[in-house]
Amino acid sequence: MRQAVAEGKYKGVLSRQPREGPKRVADTSMTNALSVTDLSKQYFLGERSSARYQTLRESIMRWGGRHARRFARARGPVKNQEFWALRGVSFDVPRGESVGVIGRNGAGKSTLLKLLSRITAPSEGEINVRGRLGSLLEVGTGFHPELTGRENVFLNGSIMGMRRREIMDRYEKIVDFSEVGDFIDTPVKRYSSGMYVKLAFSVAAHMEPDVLLIDEVLAVGDLAFQRKCMEFAQKLRSKGTTLLFVSHNMFTVKSMCHRAILLDHGQVMADGRTDEVTRLYDEQSGLDIAGWAQSRVGSDPAKCPISITHFELLDENGKVCTTFAHGSRMLMRMRYEIREKIEPPNFNVAFIRSDNVACCNYNTGMDRFSTADAKREGTIELLTPPLKLVSDLYSIQLAIWDPTFQKIYCAQQASNFHVRDNILNTHFGVFHEAGEWRWGT
């Protein structure tokens, strides 16, 4: 967590002329809390490049690395390849606006936040922050593991620019909000990741920053605390705090932000209304390998023994649909391709709610649908029973297993959909199925 100097500018090592890129018409009558101009960050794969400044640990590691590279060169040439994590990113954020930053893994979202937080320096471009900046990027950032929670509150608050009197005045509120009061005098090295996040968010939020950066680190906390944080962030927004929020959860982005920025391979691909930008994101990320499965099946569906090559989400009449009324049925049409000899595929469809709760699951194995005659290429359809899920945003995950669920062939992310109901929401649980009531005797 870092503090940006009020009305300060943060420039890169190099300068260059702005390039053409996505443009957004902004209301110039509003004062920008954050301005990013032609921002770029370059890394080198292979050789370590010289840095402008280094910590003692980095200096020691660099010294050791020299000796290691001597042995490596003896076995062959060392490749040195440049990699641009961000390239020519420009945008303005007016004071009091909430902006969601979205994109696939590796798009440059975390790099952008680290540059804005001054954790690392840009290679090119300029950042201008007006006012106090608070950030919550990684679990335990700014915490000393040997110090207690109480001591870290004062340390972390000081790092973010709060005076001691300010911290003392807000200390009780910070501890109360964090829900770690019983452990506040315990060294934070004994905290769970969830406790880290609770205390870190509480300190960052109660410093009353002018600009607050939030990464998806909040997903570490429990569901109740996530919602508590979102409600608190909305209160900060109503008081004029500018929010920059990074998340893969489109439901949260839509509820928190009126504007979204889509990053892809380090560049701004879209910048505008949240519903329009998230729609582009859904189209872009359709049928990618699910994050949890990449270590088991790889990152390219085309290299899996079998995968879904096309997916359609329809209502029961066969019309394209993404919003379903509670109690309606859903039709999914999947085109698949088999590339290797496998056991009869077990097609699996799971619905995941916006808070990552797995709600229901359909698969050919348990539903007793034989796939022994599956062709090399073909189409399979699933018509669900009436959807009794509560009103919320849901994502669809597609997985293909062997018949006994011992080996997974592929797991892909499909479309998102909404369930609509005027009353039923997550306070009623996951689903609502009518029961049978009668008077007792």
Q: What is the CATH number of the domain that holds 365?
A: 2.70.50.60
Residue 391 confidence (pLDDT) above 80: yes
- Residue where the block lists tokens 């921002």: 39
436 located within any domain: no
Question: Do residue 125 and residue 165 come from a single domain?
Answer: yes
- Compute the half-sphere exposure of residue 91: CA atoms within 13 Å on the CB side of its CA: 24
Question: Do residue 94 and residue 194 come from a single domain?
Answer: yes
Contacts of 440 (CB under 8 A, 6+ apart): none
Residue 97 confidence (pLDDT) above 80: yes
Question: Do residue 307 and residue 382 come from a single domain?
Answer: yes
The predicted model scores a pTM of 0.65
Question: Do residue 265 and residue 344 come from a single domain?
Answer: no
Q: Which domain holds residue 124?
A: 8-52+81-284
Q: What pLDDT is recorded for position 141?
A: 61
CA distances from 226 to 134, 194, 195, 223, 362 (A): 18, 10, 12, 5, 29
**Minimum mean pLDDT range among 106-110, 335-339, 435-439:** 106-110
Question: Do residue 251 and residue 302 come from a single domain?
Answer: no
Question: Do residue 262 and residue 341 come from a single domain?
Answer: no
Provide mean pLDDT across the span 121-130: 92
Give residue-wise pLDDT tens across range 418-431.
898 889 888 888 99
**What's the pLDDT band for 12 if we cut at 50, 70, 90?**
very low
**What's the pLDDT band for 206 if we cut at 50, 70, 90?**
confident
3 located within any domain: no
What's the Rg (C-alpha) of the chain? 25
Residue 218 confidence (pLDDT) above 70: no
Give residue-wise pLDDT tens across range 131-181.
888 777 765 566 888 999 999 899 878 877 778 888 899 999 999 988 899
348 located within any domain: yes
More reliable by pLDDT, 200 or 26: 200
Give residue-wise pLDDT tens across range 235-293.
888 888 899 988 877 777 887 888 999 999 899 999 999 988 988 887 776 788 888 89
Single out the residue of 380, 379, 397, 409 nearest to residue 287, CA to CA: 397
101 located within any domain: yes
Mean pLDDT (the chain) is: 82
Which parts of 79-148 fold into alpha helices (H)? 109-116
Single out the residue of 3, 305, 265, 255 nearest to residue 134, CA to CA: 3
Q: What pLDDT is recorded for position 64?
A: 61
More reliable by pLDDT, 439 or 258: 439
Burial class (CB in 10 A: 0-12, 13-18, 19+), 182: exposed
Single out the residue of 320, 319, 321, 316 nearest to residue 331, CA to CA: 316
Q: What pLDDT is recorded for position 128?
A: 93
The token pair that represents 363 in the structure block: 């698969």
- Number of structural domains in the chain: 2
Give residue-wise pLDDT tens across range 310-324.
999 999 999 989 889
Question: Do residue 259 and residue 379 come from a single domain?
Answer: no
Helix, strand, coil shares, percent, the chain, to 5:
30, 30, 40
Contacts of 422 (CB under 8 A, 6+ apart): none
Where a domain ends, among 226, 254, 284?
A: 284
- Residue where the block lists tokens 């944080």: 229
Task: Check residue 345 and report its DSSP letter.
Answer: P
47 located within any domain: yes
Give residue-wise pLDDT tens across range 361-390.
999 999 999 999 999 999 999 999 999 999
Question: Do residue 270 and residue 406 come from a single domain?
Answer: no
Question: Do residue 186 and residue 280 come from a single domain?
Answer: yes
228 located within any domain: yes
Q: What pLDDT is recorded for position 250?
A: 74
Question: Do residue 136 and residue 188 come from a single domain?
Answer: yes
Where a domain ends, among 261, 284, 307?
A: 284
Q: What pLDDT is recorded for position 223?
A: 67
Where a domain ends, among 284, 306, 329?
A: 284
Q: What pLDDT is recorded for position 139?
A: 54
Burial class (CB in 10 A: 0-12, 13-18, 19+), 364: buried
Question: Do residue 261 and residue 381 come from a single domain?
Answer: no
The token pair that represents 76 in the structure block: 């062959």
Q: What pLDDT is recorded for position 362?
A: 96
Q: What pLDDT is recorded for position 439?
A: 96
More reliable by pLDDT, 221 or 387: 387
Whether the CB-CB separation of 338 and 431 falls below 8 Å is answered with no
Strands 211-214 vs 133-136: parallel, antiparallel or unpaired:
parallel
Q: What pLDDT is recorded for position 385?
A: 95
Q: What pLDDT is recorded for position 229?
A: 78
The token pair that represents 177 in the structure block: 């909000």
State the angle between helix axes of 164-178 and 149-159 in degrees (0 to 180), rounded to the nearest 10: 130
Provide mean pLDDT across the span 403-413: 95
Question: Do residue 305 and residue 359 come from a single domain?
Answer: yes
* Dihedral sign (CA 426, 363, 291, 101): negative
Strand order in the sheet with 267-273: 133-136, 211-214, 242-246, 98-102, 259-264, 267-273
CATH value at residue 167: 3.40.50.300
Provide mean pLDDT across the span 46-64: 56
269 located within any domain: yes
343 located within any domain: yes
State the angle between helix axes of 193-206 and 164-178 in degrees (0 to 180), rounded to the nearest 10: 140
Whether the CB-CB separation of 331 and 350 falls below 8 Å is answered with no
User: For residue 173, how many other CB atoms are within 10 A of its CB?
Assistant: 12
Strand order in the sheet with 377-383: 306-315, 330-338, 377-383
The token pair that represents 226 in the structure block: 């996530």
